[in-house]
Structure 1
Amino acid sequence: MSEQTLNGFVHAAAEEFGVPGAAVGVWVDGRELFACHGVTSLENPLPVDRDTMFLLGSVSKTYTATALMRLVADGRVALDAPVRRYVPELVLADGAAAERITVLNLLNHTSGLDWNLVNDTGEGDDALAAFVAELDALALIAEPGSRASYSQAAFNLAGRILENVTGLTYERAVAALVLEPLGLAHSHFDPAVVLTHRFAVGHNPGEDGAPAVARQWKGTRANNPGGGIAGSIADQLRWARFHLGDGRTEDGERLLPAEVLHGMRRPTVELRGSSLGDAFGVCWFLREVDGVRTIGHGGSVNGQFAELLIVPERGFAVAVASNAGPDAGLRFNQAVVRRVLEHHLGLVDADPEPLPYDAARAREVAGEYAIDAMTVTIAADGEGLTLAAAIKPEVRAAAGTELPPDYAPAPMGLLPGDGDEYVVLGGGLSGQRGFFTRDARGTITGADLAGRLFPRTRPTP
């Protein structure tokens, strides 16, 4: 695939899904390919290029984890140590759990901490400290180490470890440990710095259905460790090349021993029924695509989506960033990644085929499932199942700013096996897989979606 061919496909896909702007980078056969489409903003348009900075959402977690692994390699942090060793101020509602959660539990999402706190602790240098001080209000949804459930709060707590051990702010620590040594000059957390570069803004469907600029550009500072970095697609490829390498920078400086860097790719906990991966390494989602192992991470913010996928055994990487809401951006990113994988590596990433509709099983799984900020509703209409995901009305009302749109009901189907796994078949969550959790009596108590547990709040609505 030449850059011309890649550009042609990216342009066609962006037009198909209605994406205002996107950037794609591919590392293959020791060379870079780039394709850029559209504009940074429909209201103040500038052409997107390889240095345009997009908000990368949860891809930020890979920077937090790698920075912490530098401290691990230096003997300043131990993965199996309790978090309290480095954050003695940590208080949780469950005091025993607070003593048991380890650093690795944060980095592979087995801490048992719920998704996140919906709060704003300001933009000062004390934002993370203030966030941690409120963690006693966060629910524990599982015993530490017992299962994986994706947690933004866990990574924010990991960011506080960086602050306490280095004596720096989180942002300054990550810059010193990874961004600056790797020459990632178009990767920053501070909006004041991003504003001096070309950057993209998000877009969501307006009242007429057409893309409209999303007014909340970035989340709170306390969420930076789990989702606050803005970066260019060129920097994302440089980041991927580092993780494909032996722990040295392009100038030969060793940042990590190869065994520590590559150890981040080894499974630490299995994932069940997830389109995101088969297991977690240290932060990375580990997934087999057509029999070949990959590592990767995606991210989303208000009207922007990012995807980074690395194939270590093939020396290959693809990075995508787009500035459109879920029905457009997420599906565009997925289409690009799949096309690039198939063209360059011959790997087909296909969604599984669901079982025929079973009314009895549908009634069993239908209901509402919720975390602190969102509700997932699974409904059965006698002919099929649908899944919708929505930010809770009280959360929207209290936010005081625009939040991402909800995911409208989309068809879903149960998958072969024990029938407790499912796949979403349309809409912005198309292709997302999950599974239902049962208690000892066989009663469904929760549903996993996007790697996180949504406890069941009531059966059939």
Structure 2
Amino acid sequence: MATLNEIETWLHDQLPALLAEHEIPGAAVGVLYGGEVVDHAAGLLSKATGVEATADSVFQIGSITKVWTTTLVMQLVDEGKVDLDTPVREHLPDFVLGDDGAAAKITVRQLLSHTAGFEGDIFNDTGKGDDAVEKFLATLAEVSQLFGPGEMFSYNNAGFVVLGRLVEVVRGKPYGVVVREHLFSPLGLQHAATDPYEAILHRAAVGHLRATPGEAPEPAPIWALTPAMAPAGAMLAMRPRDLLAFAQLHLTGGTTADGTVVLSAASAAAMQEPQVKLPALGMMGDSWGLGWELFDWAGTTVIGHDGGTIGQGAFLRVVPEHGLAIALLTNGGDMIEAYRAVFSHVVKELAGLDLPEMPTPPATAVEVDAERFLGTYTSDALDLTVRQDDDGKLWLDQVPKGIFAELGPAPEPVELVGRDEHSLIAVEAENGLHTPHVFLGDDGTGRALYLHSGRALRRATASEA
């Protein structure tokens, strides 16, 4: 096994070349092992300014924020102020959805495990004030229910805004203030920001996007998503070292290095218990806990989460059995390729583990019942249409909606081939990933009811198609 110092040397020697190879403007990496941390950064925070990335630079952590929000909720559980299995309406009577019956039943646990069942990619802009999260709840009034609460998994950003509002109501303070008082402060974080106004006080990374496939990433036109999405991942920015301090909290049963109890051992353990099994989706976990993604790496349990904002990507994996945590923060380019290169080396050298292989198209496409898959699957964020051409090839057409349509032109059609009897997979990789598409359920005519690629999209009705 390698030492932590050897890992630090490897990062120093290899990170610049990895960034160049994968067109990543800048990145920072941190590794926690045996209670000690090493970190390293390379590249640029912005190609527009030429400011270099350092280990003290702050990057957005995106949806890793959801584990922070979960921790805030579990603190309320510890204090007896919230019960995981009671309807969230007990605390938020103004929580409304298009399906009022579902809204009345959805529990805190279902929100934390992405099983609430309503449309999740809702990014409504409700302003920049401290009331942005509060105002967001009213915008869910027409949001549709994809499936009954608790029936299955579908990644849900909006659900974590609801949880952020729960935290605000019980604490009587805005979400950002609660994060700082109940997590940043006890963890001693000095380089962590809850919004752009704090991030600008540090060396802050800017996201980079490709205008078209094949073009070099260039600085994004905006820094962050709407403030209402803060509890889901729109605002928090920090160093890898700060993210690892949070990971250490969950490795030590909720206690900080100086002995401060931030979360009970029972709640820290509960967050790591499986709540729902996932379809075979590639980068995502095998199951989901409370906030945490749960992975099975050849019999070793790994917890983690990824985050993606506007041109920034974050990756966190924690291996409790080995006291190991790795954080990678990036600002554009082929980020998944860098994740695989860094994490595969570190987990092999420090824990003797092999990073699971990414899904790839089979050498010979599996024959599938195409008629079961063909059609349009819809959500408030995008429409996905599976079609078959005259040569029998299957294609996926993607039509983004709302804020996603504003980020650039619609993606080119993606060729799909059979992966198994229930799924198709992209022939070409995008950002290092051949995305699997799993088809679930039955619409009553033998056709799949859902297309699942992390989010469950429901087959469009005749009027929607």
Q: CA 1:50/1:216 → structure 2, altered by over 3 Å: closer, same or farther?
A: same
Moved more, 337-346 or 209-218: 337-346
1:383-417 deviations in Å (ceiling 9; x for gaps): 7545464523x6566x5xxx26755445544334x
Is structure 2 residue 197 aligned with structure 1 residue 213?
A: no
Letter in 2 for 1:391: P
Displacement, 1:363?
A: 5.4
Q: CA 1:185/1:389 → structure 2, altered by over 3 Å: closer, same or farther?
A: farther
Q: CA 1:66/1:337 → structure 2, altered by over 3 Å: closer, same or farther?
A: same
Matches within 5 A, 1:36-185: 36-185=41-190
Distance 1:444 1:454 in 2: 11
Distance 2:23 2:371 in 1: 36
1:226-271 deviations in Å (ceiling 9; x for gaps): 0121121111111111111121111111111212111100001111
Any conservation in 2 of the 1:203–1:212 contact (CA below 8 Å)? yes
Q: CA 1:305/1:387 → structure 2, altered by over 3 Å: closer, same or farther?
A: farther
Q: Which residue of 1 aligns with 2:3?
A: none
Displacement, 1:29?
A: 3.6
Distance 1:230 1:113 in 2: 28
Q: CA 1:277/1:48 → structure 2, altered by over 3 Å: closer, same or farther?
A: same
1:262-288 deviations in Å (ceiling 9; x for gaps): 110000111122221111100111111
Is structure 2 residue 261 aligned with structure 1 residue 254?
A: yes
SS at match of 2:260: coil
Any conservation in 1 of the 2:302–2:319 contact (CA below 8 Å)? yes
Is structure 2 residue 275 aligned with structure 1 residue 268?
A: yes
Moved more, 4-13 or 136-145: 4-13
Give structure 1 stretches of 5+ with no counterpart.
none
Any conservation in 2 of the 1:60–1:225 contact (CA below 8 Å)? yes
Any conservation in 2 of the 1:204–1:404 contact (CA below 8 Å)? no
Q: Which residue of 2 aligns with 1:308?
A: 316
Q: CA 1:29/1:201 → structure 2, altered by over 3 Å: closer, same or farther?
A: same
Q: Which residue of 2 aligns with 1:391?
A: 400
Provide TM-score, normalisation by structure 1: 0.91
Q: CA 1:21/1:408 → structure 2, altered by over 3 Å: closer, same or farther?
A: farther
SS at match of 2:141: helix
Letter in 1 for 2:270: G
Q: CA 1:80/1:258 → structure 2, altered by over 3 Å: closer, same or farther?
A: same
Matched pairs, number: 450
Distance 1:10 1:289 in 2: 25
Distance 2:412 2:430 in 1: 7
Moved more, 248-257 or 355-364: 355-364
Letter in 2 for 1:268: Q
What is the Cα-based RMSD across aligned positions, in Å? 2.3
Is structure 2 residue 230 aligned with structure 1 residue 224?
A: yes
Letter in 1 for 2:455: R
Give structure 2 stretches of 5+ with no counterpart.
1-5
Displacement, 1:366?
A: 4.1
Any conservation in 2 of the 1:378–1:385 contact (CA below 8 Å)? yes
Is structure 2 residue 448 aligned with structure 1 residue 454?
A: no
Displacement, 1:446?
A: 1.7
Letter in 2 for 1:299: G
Letter in 1 for 2:72: A
Q: Which residue of 2 aligns with 1:289?
A: 297
1:359-385 deviations in Å (ceiling 9; x for gaps): 653454244333212233445454754
Q: Percent identity?
A: 34
Is structure 2 residue 241 aligned with structure 1 residue 234?
A: yes
